Structure 1
Amino acid sequence: MQLVRGLQNLRPTHRGCVATIGNFDGVHRGHQAILMRLRERAAELGLPSCVVIFEPQPREFFGPETAPVRVLRLRDKLELLAAAGVDRVLCLAFNRRLRELSAAEFVHTVLVDGLGVRHLEVGDDFRFGCDRAGDFAFLQQAGALQGFTVEEAATVELDGRRVSSTRVREALASADFAAAEQLLGRPFSIAGRVLHGQKLARQLGTPTANIQLKRRRVPLTGVYVVSVLLDGRRWPGVANIGVRPTVQGDGRAHLEVHLLDYRGDLYDRRLSVTFHHKLRDEQRFASLEALKTAIHADTAAARAYWQALPLDDEPGLT
């Protein structure tokens, strides 16, 4: 899959495609339905498929502190889009200049002059342009004039409700990982590289892998039973994700994972952590000794979980 960052990096060879536009946060089953139709239409027309996304996401531009927390980092989103068979991603910087484009200017600048779109797939709630003035009807009219067709994707529902990134966040916030998996079409996981940390957990008797998150806010916080994909094998574990209130930190979210019975060096390795069950909320302890006691209790609870439900029997783990 080819990643193009910004309109300035589009070349004549990029013109002529079947495209869709959106945040695609989570790449959930609703997004997957759009991507499947995108691939089908691209194959019918003999053209590459292209997904247009924004960085930051529009609501993050307008209100960084109040915008919904992301389900996925950009890197994870791109990996899932590639796995879905997308040929090209155009990542546009959402800035004041882009925000002030009218719907007509967006169509002309991005879709016509930039991509030479022949067909456009959009979600049923898609809005664009300054003040979100553009909608499906506007795109149909523009397409008729500019020579591209537009198709509105059918809503994907689960239990009578629309599948959305909001529903995924709600499921994660309530630690309903079964519901999150149904919405995503896969178990929820976070991937990252293991960095050197304060090594405090090692001093407390439970060494952990400190996984780089590269974001301030995460959709989960607390202590969880997890499994970790390492060299094609899944290891049972326990993880804390949060700001570590008992020890002096940088205020950013950290993911620390202890692999049960694992012996080896994990530094600089990229791990994928799947979340299965919440043990407790993150909390501030009065002393390191109290923290140590809690960590040992969390580890024992995770071990009991995996003894009751061995890893090979856990649904969705292969």
Structure 2
Amino acid sequence: MLVYRGYSRSVPTPVVLAIGNFDGVHLGHAALLARLTQVGRDLGLPPTILTFEPHPREFFAPDSAPARLTTLREKLELLADLGVAQAMVCPFNAAFAALSAEDFVEQVLCQGLQLRHLIIGDDFRFGRGRQGDFALLQAAGRRLGFGVEAMHSVVVEGERVSSSGVRRALAGGDMTHAARLLGRTYAMDGQVSHGDKIGRQLGFATANIRIKHNPLPMTGVFAVEVGGLGERSLPGVANLGIRPTVGGTRPLLEVHLFDFDRDIYGAHISVRFVRKLRDEQRFPNLDALKAQIAADAAAARAYFKL
């Protein structure tokens, strides 16, 4: 996938385009992107997405912005897997937020992206004060020479698929429902780094991953499957949180892989959360923590039938 930062320089060729935050890249996004890639094939143009960094709600209300489901890297990788050829990532700052809907269309869509056809979700709004809507885009398209279409929402078991719905499922520990909305098991990716070795002292060596999601979309102890260390996924147990028993303050993902003893520092791995075992909690001492980790590992092994 080609990634362009900002719209000051035009992409080299006209595009078919989808616009959105695409947080989590759920089934609703997948349906929109399937249509995008089909139109791209029909018109012989690269399927392209326009997204924003940071999330607009993080810019306007950082203290109440929702937890991100995916980092920018995770999101772009998922979009590439769904056939997106190009991404334009626009910095969402004061200048960008101040663009009128008309200026957004002319400067970003037409000049920056050479737009030929646009596909949006049915709730898409844009421009200063969210003044732009589907009708404005249709009128602009007739004037400036691009097509526009809106996709209806995807519904799963009576629920409209949305990033908010995925967040609710994760926060409630319902990994099965989150996977139902995403179309895959929820995962976090990252590089294995050196930690404080407390897990090793307790008899459970862990792969430590510094998480860029802050706030976290969920916390707790989970049965997990880890990809990126060979041809098959490896089972394990993981804690996602701040580790209150040892005075932690920063989000950390700690993964103990079963029956595994390799040096994997520096490896980039994907941790898939298949079942929540319990909430994160503070223990009175390390002995109590060690006993609970043993119980968690046993519960995860039982889940995987190991």
TM range, normalised to the smaller chain? over 0.9
Given that 2:209 and 2:253 are in contact with CA atoms closer than 8 Å, whether structure 1 keeps it comes out as yes
Alpha-carbon distance, 1:77 to partner: 0.5
SS at match of 2:216: coil
User: 1:306, 1:80 → 2: CA distance?
Assistant: 26
State the Cα RMSD in Å: 1.2
Given that 2:175 and 2:276 are in contact with CA atoms closer than 8 Å, whether structure 1 keeps it comes out as no
Match of 2:19, as an amino acid?
I
User: 2:292, 2:22 → 1: CA distance?
Assistant: 38
User: 2:38, 2:304 → 1: CA distance?
Assistant: 42
Match of 1:3, as an amino acid?
V
User: 1:209, 1:9 → 2: CA distance?
Assistant: 41
Residues 3-152 of structure 1 mapped to structure 2, 5 A cutoff: 3-11=3-11, 13-14=12-13, 16-152=14-150
Alpha-carbon distance, 1:284 to partner: 1.0
Q: Which runs of 4+ in 1 moved over 3 A?
A: none
Aligned position for 1:255? 253
Given that 2:68 and 2:214 are in contact with CA atoms closer than 8 Å, whether structure 1 keeps it comes out as no
Given that 1:4 and 1:10 are in contact with CA atoms closer than 8 Å, whether structure 2 keeps it comes out as no
Given that 1:117 and 1:148 are in contact with CA atoms closer than 8 Å, whether structure 2 keeps it comes out as yes
User: 1:189, 1:97 → 2: CA distance?
Assistant: 34
User: 1:211, 1:107 → 2: CA distance?
Assistant: 40
Match of 2:233, as an amino acid?
R
Aligned position for 2:168? 170
Given that 2:10 and 2:111 are in contact with CA atoms closer than 8 Å, whether structure 1 keeps it comes out as no
1:154 equivalent to 2:152? Answer yes
User: 1:216, 1:247 → 2: CA distance?
Assistant: 19
User: 2:4, 2:183 → 1: CA distance?
Assistant: 27
Aligned position for 2:268? 270
Given that 1:217 and 1:252 are in contact with CA atoms closer than 8 Å, whether structure 2 keeps it comes out as no
Given that 1:180 and 1:188 are in contact with CA atoms closer than 8 Å, whether structure 2 keeps it comes out as yes
SS at match of 2:218: coil
Gapped regions of structure 1 (runs ≥ 5): 311-318
User: 2:275, 2:83 → 1: CA distance?
Assistant: 31
Aligned position for 1:244? 243
Aligned position for 1:316? none
User: 1:84, 1:303 → 2: CA distance?
Assistant: 33
User: 1:185, 1:89 → 2: CA distance?
Assistant: 22
SS at match of 1:101: coil
Residue of structure 2 aligned with 1:290, choices 278, 288, 291: 288
User: 1:214, 1:221 → 2: CA distance?
Assistant: 14
Given that 2:115 and 2:146 are in contact with CA atoms closer than 8 Å, whether structure 1 keeps it comes out as yes
User: 1:113, 1:234 → 2: CA distance?
Assistant: 45
SS at match of 1:292: helix
Match of 2:6, as an amino acid?
G
TM-score computed with the length of structure 2 as normaliser: 0.97
Deviations 1:212-258 (A, max 9, x none): 22232221201111111221222211000001111123x22100000
User: 2:183, 2:146 → 1: CA distance?
Assistant: 31
Given that 2:67 and 2:214 are in contact with CA atoms closer than 8 Å, whether structure 1 keeps it comes out as no
User: 1:50, 1:132 → 2: CA distance?
Assistant: 22
Aligned position for 2:230? 231
Paired-residue identity, %: 53
Given that 1:215 and 1:252 are in contact with CA atoms closer than 8 Å, whether structure 2 keeps it comes out as no
SS at match of 1:233: coil
Given that 2:25 and 2:78 are in contact with CA atoms closer than 8 Å, whether structure 1 keeps it comes out as yes
TM-score computed with the length of structure 1 as normaliser: 0.93
Match of 1:152, as an amino acid?
A
Moved more, 200-209 or 154-163: 154-163
